[in-house]
């Protein structure tokens, strides 16, 4: 019986034909023993044809086809099928650079459940003008100068201390048995599912070990036509509030000294919702007024008075 792969790469794909080959090539070039699980989420472009072509040449690729159900459902299917010792999520329009094997071996040597490495943004526009910018390290030195080993709880406290948060699901290698033991999965049918998933990775066990290795390997492409961050609709905002509610539920199951970190992360989600609502017209704002006044006004006032003034001005025009 062949050895199990060291890493399972899980890629949800939806209409990513323009970027998919670069993504797949970057994974196939990894020297480590791997499997690649691709979940095509009902693509209507040539993504499926590209995947089938690659699958014929590369037996390590497993293709799952499903009608469009969203990235969270696709990623959960990938988790259920994974056999690798570690799991790595890759967005189909992003890619890896360099060899992540040394990062994995370094994390294993420190007996870590989570191994985080560096990442950069690749800005994109219609003129093919690319610009890379560093995504700040969460725990390491300012420039990622030293590898940093922390528990998940310590990592949360450090996030609040530094006042910086971005859930790095795609640039974190996750021990599969840790996900299975604690039944961690992506919340389906909701936006920003990475937020809750990453928080649960950090907090499902007080003994969870995460190491951040100062090495750039993930390229996150933003600003392209399929970017979900360009959404401005009411449902997008409602789902942000739903995600905040789920994060609060998790917060209340944890020691009180971690609550400030959770509230800081929620602040970021509220800033996102506020920045979008500020671009709405009067009719759009009025459509959300009931939800705000009856469910979120008091919470925001009690915890984020600076934001409360902005929200209240919008809904009391």
* Whether pLDDT at 142 is above 50: no
Residue 148 has a pLDDT of 83
Q: What single string gives the DSSP state of each residue in 52-114? A: HHHHHH-TTEEEEEESS--HHHHHHHHHHH--SSEEEE--TT-EE-S--HHHHHHHHHTT-SE
* Whether pLDDT at 126 is above 50: no
- Say which residues have a Cβ less than 8 Å from residue 44's Cβ, sequence separation at least 6: 15
Question: Which has more confidence, 266 or 236?
Answer: 266
Here the tokens at position 115 are: 């191994």
pLDDT classification of 44: cutoffs 50, 70, 90: very high
pLDDT digits (tens, 9 = 90+) for 164-178: 888 889 999 999 999
User: Span 101-129, mean pLDDT?
Assistant: 82
* Whether pLDDT at 308 is above 90: yes
pLDDT classification of 136: cutoffs 50, 70, 90: confident
Residue 255 has a pLDDT of 96
* Whether pLDDT at 134 is above 80: no
Confirm or reject CATH 3.90.550.10 for domain 7-229, answering yes or no.
Answer: yes
pTM: 0.91
pLDDT digits (tens, 9 = 90+) for 109-121: 999 999 999 888 8
Each domain of the chain, given as residue ranges in start order, spans: 7-229, 231-315
């Amino acid at each position: 019986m062949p050895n199990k792969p060291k890493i399972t790469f899980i890629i949800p794909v939806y209409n990513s034909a323009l970027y998919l080959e670069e993504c797949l090539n970057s994974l196939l070039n990894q020297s480590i023993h791997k499997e690649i699980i691709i979940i095509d989420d009902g693509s209507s472009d040539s993504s499926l044809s590209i995947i089938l072509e690659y699958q014929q040449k590369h037996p390590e690729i497993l293709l799952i086809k499903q009608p469009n159900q969203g990235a969270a459902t696709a990623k959960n299917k990938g988790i259920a099928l994974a056999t690798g010792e570690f799991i790595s999520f890759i967005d189909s329009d992003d890619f890896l650079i360099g060899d992540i094997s040394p990062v994995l071996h370094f994390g294993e040597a420190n007996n870590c459940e989570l191994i985080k490495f560096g990442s950069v943004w690749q800005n994109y526009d219609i003129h093919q003008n690319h610009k890379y910018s560093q995504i700040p390290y969460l725990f390491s030195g300012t420039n990622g100068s030293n590898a940093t080993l922390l528990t998940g709880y310590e990592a949360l406290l450090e996030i609040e201390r530094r006042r910086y948060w971005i859930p790095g699901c795609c640039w974190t290698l996750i021990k599969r048995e840790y996900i299975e033991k604690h039944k961690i999965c992506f919340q389906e049918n909701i936006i920003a599912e990475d937020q809750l998933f990453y928080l649960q990775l950090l907090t499902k066990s007080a003994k969870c070990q995460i190491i951040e290795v100062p090495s750039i390997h993930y390229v996150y492409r933003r600003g392209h036509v399929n970017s979900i961050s360009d959404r401005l609709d009411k449902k997008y905002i409602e789902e942000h509030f739903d995600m905040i509610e789920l994060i609060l539920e998790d917060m209340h199951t944890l020691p009180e000294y971690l609550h400030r970190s959770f509230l800081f992360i929620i602040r970021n989600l509220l800033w996102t919702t506020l920045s979008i609502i500020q671009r709405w017209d009067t009719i759009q704002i009025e459509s959300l007024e009931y939800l705000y006044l009856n469910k979120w006004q008091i919470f925001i006032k009690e915890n984020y008075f600076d934001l409360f003034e902005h929200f209240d001005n919008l809904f009391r025009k």
